[in-house]
Chains A and B, each alone.
Chain A
Amino acid sequence: MNMWRLLQIELFKITRRPRTYIAFAAITAIVFIFQFAFKADGQSYMDLMMQSAKDEFAFDRVEAINGYFMCYIILNTLLIQVPILVALIAADSISGEANMGTLRLLVSKPVSRTQIILVKFAAATIFTIFLLVWMAVTALFLSIVIFGTGDMLVFRTKGTESMIMQITKDDVMWRYYAAFAYATVALTVIAALSLLLSIFADNSIGPIIATVCIVIVCTIISNINVPIIDRNVKPFLFTSYLVGWKGFFYIGTNENGNTIKGSLENWPAIRNSLMILIAHIVLIVGISIAVFRKKDILS
């Protein structure tokens, strides 16, 4: 059967479910709270950040709180929580059908099980893209409308050192586009993982909790700074690469320590992270297909 037609059916089902809009509402609420807080008392935040930064840096603290800066702050917080929102939909893919009893009807139609998994995965990916587009609309474009534009400050901790980097305003937007694209790939790993877990369950609560638990455990391991884990475990954990989008805001410098417009500090690292995330997606979706093809539908 035509995959496009199947995908249309899947997207139709997703858009008709009230649960779908919880994630969009949650993002909107969080972004609005951030924007309100910074509009009301952003100065205190800037003072706090400046205390922790060693760099002697001269800039107008009022102008520093602009739309670009706001989006970066919001993304720093939100992109850790968004996996839960992605799991809300993706973890329901198969288990939700099993819970409703529609899975047996679905599988008894002239559609292959591989097609079902691929379409479910594609729909979860499209949902993730829409979620990030919505995040871009609210966190970036709405922040630009509220706070205006300007050079962007990036607070960064490298080892034990805190530093501030400045990106000129005409060098920011492409970084955001790239960061959102990277975040889409990273969150698609979560969608694929949720989809895989949903095959084993007859209700969506289990896979959602399991996905969140896996993300939390792997994130904790990714943050343990012990050489043996750094070498042998972290490179294989997808959570080690989830925040790789930040790399697009680490600007390259020349020998004199001056920033180079349009440059990245470590593009090969970002590219490798992307490749590893994509490999995770391929592997997890492959396992999902293999498991689902063999599964007895008893629900």
Chain B
Amino acid sequence: MSAIVSVDNLVKQFGNFTAVDGLSFTVNEGDVYGFLGQNGAGKSTTIRMMLTLIKPTAGSIKIFGKEILHHRSDILRQTGAMIERPDLYKYLSAYNNLSIFAKMSGIKVSKKLLMDQLEMVGLQEAADKKAGVFSQGMKQRLGIAVALVHNPKLIILDEPTNGLDPQGIADMRNLILRLSNEMGKTVIISSHLLSEVEQIANRMIIIDRGKKIVEGSVEELLDPEHTVVDIDTTNNEATQQLLASSKWNDYLQAEKPLQLMMNKTQVPALINDLVAGNVQLLSVKASHSLENYFLSLTTRHEHVEAFAN
């Protein structure tokens, strides 16, 4: 599978602050690539560099095998993007907004093309309504239509589910899957929610403070072998002793007294053993180790922010 995007040792500094620090990753043709990180991790800065909104301090970005800074127009003609909020011209109708950005993408625009696009995102009825009166979900869908109108090969969506209700999130997820599965598009989707990315992406990267933490296939990174089980009981000390003297001792984690790491399929057996041992369970929470790690990143920064405030 050929690489559509190759980012190599990318650096972006704003004064003394390093927003992106030696980041490298590859997105292959047909990938739905999850770009994960907490707020402020450097996702949007990286995406902005990929779209030439920001100039890198160092490193290179190749899209379709060409250096973005030298082949900007060629690359952007085949790239569709929605960057953070889908802000559009509030005083123009959905149709006119779409028409303007379609023309700017260099394609021949027809009424049919624009209406088909609006229909695809479910906005055909609102074609003549001004974007200023749209709900967040409608704006998001119009933003997607703008990103797709010129039939790009690569689609970059920066936090596309921000501000959407559960139905809107499900619709967005289905649309992204359709773009990938039925239309063969390569999609990069940034998010700060692992649960969101794991449902649609086949490969992903996690970044923190501008640096790559981990990159790989979702299957590989979310291997059920690395399921973390947190237990809470009426008597945690006794439960700890019980587990330590059983076959589950090998799975106990050193960092937390009632935390175990195992294959997801072993969780029912663990619960059975605890019940058989007369342990009164308050809760059993199974999550992936990557999710735990990702959560720890988020929590850490929240603590720092809370402390700073």
Contacts and interface: CB of A to CB of B under 8 A. Distances in A.
A294 interface: yes
A298 B84 CA distance: 11
Contact of A12 (B52, B53, B90, B100): B100
Contact of A110 (B54, B83, B87, B106): B106
Interface residues of A, number: 25
Contacts of B92: 13, 16
Contacts, number: 80
B89 A108 contact: no
A266 interface: no
Interface string B45-80: 000100111110000000000000000111011010
A112 B77 CA distance: 12
Contacts of B27: none
B130 to A, nearest CB: 10
Contact of A106 (B55, B91, B104): B104
A105 B146 contact: yes
A193 B75 CA distance: 33
Contacts of A5: 103
Interface in A4-56: 5-6, 9, 12-13, 16-18
A108 B81 contact: yes
B104 A104 contact: no
Interface string A230-270: 00000000000000000000000000000000000000000
A296 interface: yes
B87 A17 contact: no
B155 to A, nearest CB: 12
B23 interface: no
B53 A102 contact: no
A101 B89 contact: no
Interface string B13-56: 01000000000000000000000000000000000100111110
Nearest to B54: A296
B101 interface: yes
A38 B7 CA distance: 71
B88 A102 contact: yes
B85 interface: yes
A109 B104 contact: yes
A267 to B, nearest CB: 45
A186 to B, nearest CB: 30
Contact of B100 (A13, A18, A294, A297): A13
Contacts of B186: none
A118 B101 CA distance: 18
A224 interface: no
Interface centre among B73, B89, B92, B105 (most CB of A within 10 A): B89
Given A18-B91, A100-B89, A110-B73, A6 B48 contact: no
22 contacts: A12-B100, A13-B89, A16-B89, A16-B91, A17-B91, A101-B85, A101-B87, A102-B88, A102-B89, A104-B83, A105-B81, A105-B87, A105-B146, A108-B53, A108-B81, A109-B76, A109-B101, A109-B104, A110-B72, A110-B73, A297-B53, A298-B48
